[in-house]
Amino acid sequence: MSDIVVIGGGIVGVSIAHELAKRGENVTLFEKRYIGSGSTFRCATGIRQQFGDEANIQVMKRSVELWKKYSEEYEFPFDQTGYLFLLYSEEEVEDFKKNIALQNKFGVPTRLITPEEAKEIAPLINIDEVIAASWNPTDGKADPFFAVTAFARKAKEYGAKIYEYTEVKDILVEKGEIKGVKTNRGFFKADIVVNAANAWAPLINIMAGIPIDIPIRPYKHQSIITQPIERGSIKPMVISFRHHDAYITQTHHGGVIGGIGLEYGPTYDLTPTYEYLKEVTKTLPQIVPALKNLRILRMWAGYYAKTPDSNPAIGRIEEIDQLYIAAGFSGHGFMMSPAVGEMIAELIIKGRTHLPIWWYDPYRFERGELREKAIQMG
C-alpha cells in the first residue's frame, strides 16, 4: 500500500487525512505547530452554500451534507442557523436574484426576503436602509476548533498518524517520483504527498520543485469577539457588502464574532492593527446597533491564502508522481473542508471524483483561465 503524507494540520489537511484513513489508506500528517493552529481557529465559523457559480454551489451543498453527518457522528457543534445577506441597492438585488436562481437549480433553498422578514430572523439588525435580503436557512456555523480536533481524533482512530510540532523541510523527488519528506524530526518515506499548507503552500511547492506557477499569497484579515451574551441573540451569519464586507454572528459559546474586509498584504505578519479596530467598531454597530454597548474581549488576525480568482487550487500536479495540492482557499476553506477531504481522497484512490474538481484546476493560472471570482466573504 502507498505511503501517503499530508502536509498541514489545519481543517483541510485533517479532513483529507480523515477521509483517506477512513477508506483504509496508510496516511501520515505533519503539522509544524499543533492541530488547527493556523488559519483554522482564526476563522469566523461560517458555512454557506450561497455562492455565485455552479461548482462552488455543488461542492458546498455536499460539504454541508458532510458537516451535518460528521457533526452528529463525532459530536461537535454545527448549527444550521442560516446566512443572511443584507441588500441595500437594486443592483445588489439583481445580482443576488441570479445567484439565488442558480442555487435553487442545485437544490439549495435560498430565497429573497423582505427587510421585515430579515428582522424576524435576526431581531437585532438595523433594517433602515435594507431593501431585501438573501436567506438560506440550511447554511450554518461550526466551532472550528471542536471540528478540527474531532476530525483529528477520528482520523487517528481510523489509523492515521498525526505528528505535531513536525515541520516539513524538504520533499525528496527523484526523476519525477516522490521518495519521501524530510522533517525537523527525521526522514519519512512517502509515495504520495498532499500539500494542504494553505498560506504556506507556495513554500511546499518550492520544496517539491513543481514546474507550474500557482499564485497563492497570504493576506492579513482580522476579527473581533465580544463578551458572551444570551445565546440565540444573533442566530444567522449576517453579511453586508455595503459595510466593508462585514459579517456578524454569535458563537456557540455566546460571544458575538465579527469582522470587515479590511485587508493587508501580501504578508506573513499577523499583528492586529489599530486602524482595523477603529474601523470595525465603527462599522459593525451600523448593522447591529446593540454592539455599541458590548465589550470587545479580543481581536486577532489570520491569513486568507488568496488566489487571483478567490478559488482554491485543488488537484494533481501531473509532472510529479504523485503530488496533490489543496490550498489557496481565499477565506472560505473552513466551510469547504469536508468536501475537499472527500474530493482528494477519491482522486487519490480512484483517480476521479463525483464533485466538479475541474473548477479548481491548479493549471488554470498558467493557462490564463481564471474562474468567475468566488464570493470571498466569511
Partner 1 sequence: MRPLDIYEKDPSKQVTIYFEGTPLIAYEGEKISVALLANGIRWISISSEGRKRGAFAFGPALVKINGIKNKDARKTKVKDGMRIERQTYLEYQESVEVDKSKPPEKYVIDVAIVGGGIAGIGATLELQDYLTVALIEEKGYLGGDMRRKSVPVKKFDNKEAKEVVKDLVTKLNKNVKVFKGTTLLGIYRDGNLFLLSAAKGERLVEIYAKKVILATGAVDNFMLFENNEMPGVFRRDFALELINVWGVKPGNKVAVVGRKPEDIVPELERVGIEYIIVKNPKRVEGEESVERIIDIEGNVYEVDAVIMSDGRRPDMNPITLVGGKIIFKNGAYVPVKNDKNEIIEGVYVAGSVASLKSHYANYLEGRLVARYILNELGVGVSIQELKEEFEKINKEIEEPLPQIDLSKLNLEETYICGCDVTLKSVVDVVNGGITNLQIVKRLTHLAMGFCQGRYCLFNGAVIVSKLSGIDMDKIDLPTARPPLKPVTMKVIGNE
Residues forming the site for partner 1 (CB under 8 A)? 34-37, 41, 124, 145-146, 149, 164, 226-231, 233, 253-254, 271-274, 277-278, 280-285, 289-300
Question: What's the min distance (Å) between Cβ of 131 and partner 1?
Answer: 23
> Which is nearer to partner 1, 287 or 345 (by Cβ)?
287
> Which is nearer to partner 1, 146 or 359 (by Cβ)?
146
Question: What's the min distance (Å) between Cβ of 247 and partner 1?
Answer: 15
Q: Which residues pair with 183 in a beta bridge?
A: 168, 186
The Cα diameter of the chain in Å comes to 64
* Cell 513543481 sits on residue: 210
> How far apart, in whole angstroms, are the C-alpha atoms of residue 103 and residue 251?
26
> Which is nearer to partner 1, 54 or 164 (by Cβ)?
164
Question: What's the min distance (Å) between Cβ of 8 and partner 1?
Answer: 17
> How far apart, in whole angstroms, are the C-alpha atoms of residue 82 and residue 55?
20
Q: State CA 193 to chain mean position distance.
A: 21
User: Do 315 and 361 touch, CB atoms closer than 8 A?
Assistant: yes
> Which is nearer to partner 1, 14 or 320 (by Cβ)?
14
Question: What's the min distance (Å) between Cβ of 240 and partner 1?
Answer: 16
| Closest CA relative to residue 125, chosen from 234, 228, 227, 231 | 234
> How far apart, in whole angstroms, are the C-alpha atoms of residue 2 and residue 5?
10
What does DSSP assign to residue 56?
Answer: H
Question: What's the min distance (Å) between Cβ of 149 and partner 1?
Answer: 7
User: Do 142 and 47 touch, CB atoms closer than 8 A?
Assistant: yes
> Which is nearer to partner 1, 80 or 250 (by Cβ)?
250
User: Do 94 and 51 touch, CB atoms closer than 8 A?
Assistant: no
| Closest CA relative to residue 246, chosen from 227, 224, 230, 226 | 224
One-character DSSP codes across 240-256: ESTTTSEEEEE-TTSEE
At residue 26, the 3 state secondary structure works out as: strand
What does DSSP assign to residue 95?
Answer: H
User: Do 44 and 73 touch, CB atoms closer than 8 A?
Assistant: no
Question: What's the min distance (Å) between Cβ of 119 and partner 1?
Answer: 13
Question: What's the min distance (Å) between Cβ of 308 and partner 1?
Answer: 31
> How far apart, in whole angstroms, are the C-alpha atoms of residue 36 and residue 372?
30
> Which is nearer to partner 1, 62 or 154 (by Cβ)?
154
Question: What's the min distance (Å) between Cβ of 269 and partner 1?
Answer: 11
> Which is nearer to partner 1, 167 or 191 (by Cβ)?
167
Half-sphere exposure of 307 (CA within 13 A, CB side): 33
Altogether, the residues listed in the chain come to a count of 378
> Which is nearer to partner 1, 70 or 276 (by Cβ)?
276
> Which is nearer to partner 1, 152 or 207 (by Cβ)?
152
Question: What's the min distance (Å) between Cβ of 204 and partner 1?
Answer: 23
